A = this chain, B = another copy of it.
Amino acid sequence: MNVRTLCLAILQHGDATGYEIKKMSVEGEYSYFVDASFGSIYPALARLEADGLVTVREETQPGKPARKIYSITDAGREALIGELTGQTDPDIFRSPFLLVAMNAELLPREHLVKAIDARLADLQREMELLGSIASSRSGGTEWIARYGMNCMTASHDFLTAYRDQLECLAVDADAQPGERAAG
């Protein structure tokens, strides 16, 4: 899965500019597939157009740079379907937070508490986003938002219920840092 496919998927759900695609893939409802920056999106759109998978129309606006609005073509839609039915890359979950948790015995309790609070806040923000998506969309988009909500809720509940167990593994504030590491 790459930025090309991401662009096609977004354009399948409606025309957009490179700038909008970036926003949607970083903060919006397309932020669960690949992360992309301007440096990868703009070249990808240019190549997509050269390959005939999307078309562009330029919209000049007074006092602002021209917006380049991209639309998917039939060939693009077929390429997207091909990508979606062909690839089998597994889902991945990568968690710096869990690495902190795994090494709780090595860290000052203070920091562990902060890390948990931060993670909880992240989850809450994410759940709000997903909630607004679920209530404003339909079909597949609504479904995946509900799926996400379900997972986030489970995470949040577990963290809230069992954070104490984790916190009591941490190094005491007044103990020598790393004291329990050797044991």
Contacts and interface: CB of A to CB of B under 8 A. Distances in A.
A84 B97 contact: no
A181 B77 contact: yes
How many monomers of this chain does the complex have?
Answer: 2
Contacts of A144: 98, 101-102
Interface residues of A, number: 62
Given A81-B106, A90-B122, A94-B91, A154 B150 contact: yes
Contact of A143 (B88, B118, B143, B162): B162
Interface of A: 1, 5, 9, 12, 32-35, 77-78, 80-81, 84-85, 87-108, 111, 118-119, 122, 139-141, 143-144, 146-148, 150-151, 153-155, 158-159, 162, 165-166, 169, 177-178, 181
A32 B97 CA distance: 10
20 contacts: A32-B93, A32-B94, A33-B99, A77-B106, A81-B107, A84-B106, A85-B111, A88-B96, A90-B96, A91-B96, A93-B151, A101-B143, A101-B147, A102-B140, A105-B139, A139-B169, A143-B162, A147-B155, A147-B159, A150-B154
